[in-house]
Each structure stands twice: as structure tokens, then as C-alpha cells.
């Protein structure tokens, strides 16, 4: 079986996340420019803003984790747990390409 190119996969994921975060930023800036809305619209808008903020936060965290995994791959440590130094299970790397910890260390 061919080993999946984890680095390429993570780089793709990083590009995707950056684009997503950019879209959330655009959304926020557009909203702050709109002032002449009635109250009901503002309430809906505020709700949307909360959703978008949550999504942006999630994407930002995910991006940080992807960057961390890429940095470790570049340092030739991509397949080792950042905590205990043991190899990370292959199945785990496949399922979660951005992970930097082995199964045992994730919970702690």
C-alpha cells in the first residue's frame, strides 16, 4: 500500500482553512459597515455573527494544529508523539493527519 502523502494533505488543509478564515473575516467586515437595518434583522444578524465567530474560532484552532503538525513533519518528527516521543499509530495518522500525539497521550 502506498503511504499517503501526509504533508501534501496537510498543506491542502492549511490552504482550505486559511481561505475559510478569510471568508469569515470578510463576513464580519461587511456586517460592521451595515447600519440601516431594522431591529429584527439585527437580531438575526447578531445570531449569525455568533455562529460565524464560533466557526472562525474553530477554524483558527484547527489551522494552528495543522501548522504544528507541518512544523513537526519538516523537523522529521511528524510521525512521533510530541509528548512521549513514541511513534504515532499509522491508523491514527491516517484518520487524523494533523495529530501530533499518540493515542495514549491525547487524553492527558
- List the x/- string, 35-64, binding to Zn ion by CB under 5 A: ------------------------------
Q: Which of 66, 81, 99, 100 binds Zn ion (CB under 5 A)?
A: 81
Alpha carbon distance 46, 48 (integer Å): 5
What is the spatial distance between Cα 18 and Cα 15, in angstroms, rounded to a whole number? 5
Nearer to Zn ion, 66 or 102 (CB): 102
Nearest distance from C-beta of residue 84 to Zn ion, angstroms:
3
The answer to whether 83 and 104 have CB atoms below 8 angstroms apart is no
Amino acid at each position: 500500500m502506498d503511504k499517503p502523502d501526509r504533508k501534501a494533505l496537510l498543506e491542502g488543509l492549511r490552504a482550505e482553512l486559511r481561505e475559510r478564515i478569510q471568508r469569515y473575516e470578510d463576513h464580519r467586515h461587511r456586517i460592521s459597515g451595515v447600519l440601516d437595518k431594522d431591529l429584527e434583522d439585527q437580531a438575526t444578524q447578531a445570531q449569525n455573527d455568533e455562529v460565524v465567530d464560533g466557526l472562525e474560532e474553530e477554524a483558527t484552532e484547527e489551522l494552528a494544529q495543522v501548522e504544528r503538525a507541518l512544523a513537526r513533519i519538516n523537523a522529521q518528527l511528524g510521525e512521533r508523539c510530541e509528548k512521549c516521543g513514541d511513534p504515532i499509530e499509522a491508523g491514527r495518522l491516517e484518520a487524523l493527519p494533523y495529530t501530533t500525539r499518540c493515542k495514549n497521550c491525547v487524553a492527558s
